[in-house]
Structure 1
Amino acid sequence: MVSRTRPPPRSQRLGLSIGAGLCTLVGDLKAPSPKTRAGRPPFRLATRALLASLVLLALPLFAGTEEAASQQTTAQGPQEPPAEAAPVAPPPPEVTARAWALVDLQTGEYLAGEGEDRRLSMASTTKVMTGLVAFEMVEEGRANLDEEVVISAEAASYAVPAYSNVGLFEGDVLTVCELLMATMISSGDDAAYALAEHLGGGVGDAGVARFVAMMNEKAEGLGLEDTRFENPIGFDAEGHHTTARELARTTIAAYEYPGFAEIVGTEEASIATADREIPLQNTNELLYVYGPAIGVKTGTTPGAGPSLVSAALSEDESYVAVVLDDEDRFNDSAEVLEHGFVAHDRREVVLEGERYAEAPVPYRRDREVGLVAEEPVQGLVGTGEAVEQRVEVMDELPPEARPGTRLGRVEAYVGGEKVGESALVAQDGYEEASIFRKVWYTAGGIFE
C-alpha cells in the first residue's frame, strides 16, 4: 500500500462537528470549493528512499573515476555538451484491472487506459450516479437536503450482514443529506434504497423504479451509450453495466456539485437517529494513505469484482481514475493517478496579452494593428506533446477599433486536440480613415 503523509480529516481542518455539521456545510455550498494541497509527497516513499540510499553508498566508489575523467577532459580541451534528448512520455502503469481509465477531472479529457470501453458490472460505484441524481434534484428544487425520511421496512431489510449497510431500523428518521452521507461514505445499501424510495416518490419498489428511471435518463443526457442501471445500489443484474471511461464521465458530472465532492472526500462522520448515533467510515482507503486523494467510491460484488473510482488533486492538476474488477484496486488506482501527475503538466498554452497576429489597418498600406490574446488558455500537456496555436482573423476589419476590440481568435491545440480558444483583440486602437485617405488609397490601388 502506498504510504504518504496526509493532512488531518477535512472535518477537523474546517472545525466541524462531524455529522449534522457536515450536512450544514453541504447545504451551504453553492460553488466549487477546490481542496488545495501543498504539493505532492513523493510516490512510493520507501522505494525511493531505498534508491537514494543506494546512490549515496555508490558515490565513493565512483569518485576517483569521476576525478580522473575530469582531468582527462581538461587535458583534451573543452568538449561540446551532449545534445539534449527529446522528452519521452512515461509508459502507462501496469495494473491488474479488467478495465481502467484515467481522465482529467477539469476537462474530461481521456488520458490513458485499457479496456476502457468494455461493458462491465460496476457494483457500488453505481452510487456515484445515485448521488449525482440526488444533488441534481436538490439544485432544481425537487428535493431538499433537510427533508426528513422515515426508513421503511423494505429499506431496513438491507441492514443485514449479506449487504453493505449502516444498520438502519424501520422507523428511523434521517434527512436526505444524512442518507447521502451513509450512501457515499460507508456505502450503505439500506441508506441508498431509502434515498431512492424517497426521491422516487413512493415507498417500496415503485419509488425505487422511478428513481432508477431518473438515473438512466441522466445517463442518456450525459451521452453515456454503454451505461444502464437496474437498481440504485449496484447489485449484479442483467442490463446493469457501464464502462471505465463512462464511469469517469459520470464522476466528473457529479463533481460539479460541491456537496458531492465534500461528502465523498470525508473520511469519518456520524449521523444520528432519535435513539442512537451511527458512525460512518469511508470505505475508500486511498483517503487515508495517498496524499492527493479527494474521493470517490468503492464497489465489490461477485460479478463486478473489487472496483474503485478515485480522484486526486495536487496544485492545479486533478484526475479521476477508474479500475474495474481489480484485486489490487487501491495500489493500482494510486499508480494510475500518479501517472497522471508525472506524465502531464497543466500550463498556459495561450498567454494573455501575447501578440499572435497582425492585420492591416483599413485604408492604411503602411500600418498594421497587433492582435493579442484577450485571456489565457490552459491545457494539460503530456510529456513530448506538441503545442500549437492556430489564428483566425476577421476577413474585413471594422472601419475603426479601440484597444480591446475583438478582431479574431486563437485556438490552442495539444497533441493535435483542441483544448481551448481566446479572442484576439486590438493591441492599439485606430480611427476611421478620412474620405480623402480612402480616395487616395483607392486611387493608389488602381495605378499599382
Structure 2
Amino acid sequence: MRKRILTAVCGVLCAAAVSASASAAQLGEVHAKSAILMTDTGQVLFEHNADAVHPPASVTKLMTMLLTIEAVDSGSASLDDWVTASAHAAEMGGSQIYLKEGERMTLDDMLKSIAVASANDAAVAVAEHLGGSEAHFVSMMNERAKQLGCKRTEFVNPNGLDTDGEQTKTTARDLALISQQLLRHPKILTYTSIWMDSVRNGSFGLANTNKMLKLYDGMVGLKTGYTSTAGYCISAAAQRDGMCLLAVVLGEPDKQSRNQDITAMLNYGFAEYTVVPIADGETLPEVAVELGTRGSVPVKLAEETPLLLKKTEAGSIRREIVCVQRTRAPVQAGDKLGEIIVTGSGGELARRALVAADSADKKQVPDIFRELLEYLLMKKSLLTAHFLTSM
C-alpha cells in the first residue's frame, strides 16, 4: 500500500538542477574567448564558447594541485614529505620560487608555492616527487582528466608553460570540471585563499596572483594564468549564502577584462539564483515494519545536497512525498522506501529517493513465541480482572 502526500504550493522546498543558462546579453559583453559559470555541483548557469579549445597557461596547475591533494587525502603522500628539487625543476622560468638543484622543501610548502605564487619550479618538483618523473605525472594528469569527463584536454606539463613547441590545450568547461573536483577537498582552500605568506622559514615571501581575493566578496580561489599566447585566464571560486560558484574565463585581453567578466558572471549567479534545501525541516514519515524487531523505521533523504533554483521560481514549487506505509522485515538502512517529487510551473524538476534511516531485523521464532505468550498472559490478566470486578 502506498501513501501519497501532496503539499500546497510553497516556497520552502528544494529545487532541482534546472537547466538554465544565461545569455551573453544578460551579463553584458563578455571579453573572454571562452567562459563558463557553474555551481560546485555541476549545474551550468552561463556559458560562452565553453567547449572551444584554448591554452590555459598556469590554470593548468589546477590538475597538479588536484593530484597532490588527492594523494594526501588518500594517504599515499603526506604534507610533511620532503620534496627534492631536480636540476630540471630548478631551471623552470616564469613565476617561481627559485628552487636550487638538491634543495629540499616540504610538500606543504611546495603546494603553498604552487597555489599562491604559481611557482612553475615547485609544480615540476611536486610532479617528479609524486609521479616518479614529470612525464609519468603528465600521464596521470591526462588520465585523471578523462576520468572527470574532460573531453578536449591534453596536458603536456604540470605548470602550463609552452615547452618545445608543445602547449597544453583545454576548455573552460573542462577546467570547471577539474575545479569542481578540487573543491571536494576543502583543505585546498586553505592554500588558494592565502593572500600573503612565506616559505624557507619566512625568508621568501609569497603573494597571491589572484587579486580577486581582495576585489570580490566571498572569493576563495582558485588559480590564475597568463602567457602571451594564452592571454589572461582564471578559474575563480566564490562562496556566499550557502552557494559556491565557479567562473572560468580563457583568452582575456587584459587583467581588467578578466576581472570584469569574472565579477559580472559571479554577480549574475548570486543575484539570480538561490539554494533551497530539499526537506527544509519537514518531518518525513515513518514506515511500519511487519514481523520486524522494531515496529517502524524512520526515512531520510538518500542525498541531502541542496539544489539551485532561480529566485523567481523558488516560491512556486510543489512537493509530493510518495512513500510506502508499511514494509516487511528485514529492512536495511539505505533501502529505498519512497521518493520526493519536486515540480514547478514547467513540470517536474527533480526526484529524490527516501531511504530507511535505520535497520530492522526479522523476528525469529523465539521472538514470536515470546510475544504470543506475553499477549496471552496479558489477555488472561485482563479477563481475571474483569471477572473479579463483576462479582
TM-score by shorter chain over 0.5: yes
Q: 2:109 aligns with which of 178, 181, 192?
A: 178
Q: Which runs of 5+ in 2 are unaligned?
A: 1-21, 291-297, 358-391
Per-residue displacement from partner, 1:194-213 (whole Å, max 9, x unpaired)?
11111121xxxxx0001111
The within-5 A match list for 1:8-407 is: 91-105=26-40, 107-158=41-92, 160=93, 163-201=94-132, 207-236=133-162, 238=166, 240-272=168-200, 277-326=203-252, 327=254, 328-353=257-282, 374-375=300-301, 378-385=306-313, 387-389=317-319, 391-394=321-324, 397-398=326-327, 407=337
Asked if the contact 2:232/2:250 (under 8 Å) is kept, the reply is: yes
Asked if the contact 1:352/1:374 (under 8 Å) is kept, the reply is: no
Question: Which stretch has the larger CA shift, 377-386 or 115-124?
Answer: 377-386
Asked if the contact 2:218/2:240 (under 8 Å) is kept, the reply is: yes
How many corresponding residue pairs?
317
- State the 1:258 CA deviation: 2.3
Distance 2:215 2:305 in 1: 34
RMSD (Å), alpha carbons = 3.5
1:416–1:333 distance in 2 versus 1, CA, 3 Å: farther
- State the 1:240 CA deviation: 2.3
Identify the residue that residue 381 of structure 2 maps to in structure 1: none
Asked if the contact 2:247/2:265 (under 8 Å) is kept, the reply is: yes
1:408–1:241 distance in 2 versus 1, CA, 3 Å: same
Per-residue displacement from partner, 1:347-390 (whole Å, max 9, x unpaired)?
1354443579xx9xx9xxxxxxxxx9845773211143464545
Secondary structure of 2:30 counterpart: coil
Query: What TM-score comes out, normalization by structure 2 length?
Result: 0.72
Per-residue displacement from partner, 1:296-340 (whole Å, max 9, x unpaired)?
100011221100111111121111100111131112111111111
Distance 1:93 1:278 in 2: 41
Per-residue displacement from partner, 1:16-52 (whole Å, max 9, x unpaired)?
xxxxxxxxxxxxxxxxxxxxxxxxxxxxxxxxxxxxx
Q: Percent identity of the aligned residues?
A: 32
Distance 2:318 2:218 in 1: 31
Secondary structure of 2:248 counterpart: strand
Query: What TM-score comes out, normalization by structure 1 length?
Result: 0.63
Per-residue displacement from partner, 1:108-148 (whole Å, max 9, x unpaired)?
21111111121211110000100000111122222221111
Per-residue displacement from partner, 1:239-259 (whole Å, max 9, x unpaired)?
622211121110111111122
Identify the residue that residue 408 of structure 1 maps to in structure 2: 338
Distance 1:195 1:150 in 2: 9
1:145–1:346 distance in 2 versus 1, CA, 3 Å: same
Distance 1:350 1:140 in 2: 33
Distance 1:238 1:417 in 2: 48
Asked if the contact 2:161/2:167 (under 8 Å) is kept, the reply is: no
Distance 1:219 1:266 in 2: 26
Distance 1:113 1:185 in 2: 27
1:406–1:240 distance in 2 versus 1, CA, 3 Å: closer
Distance 2:50 2:192 in 1: 23
Paired AA for residue 97 in structure 2: V
1:113–1:352 distance in 2 versus 1, CA, 3 Å: same
Q: Which runs of 5+ in 1 are unaligned?
A: 1-87, 202-206, 363-371, 427-448
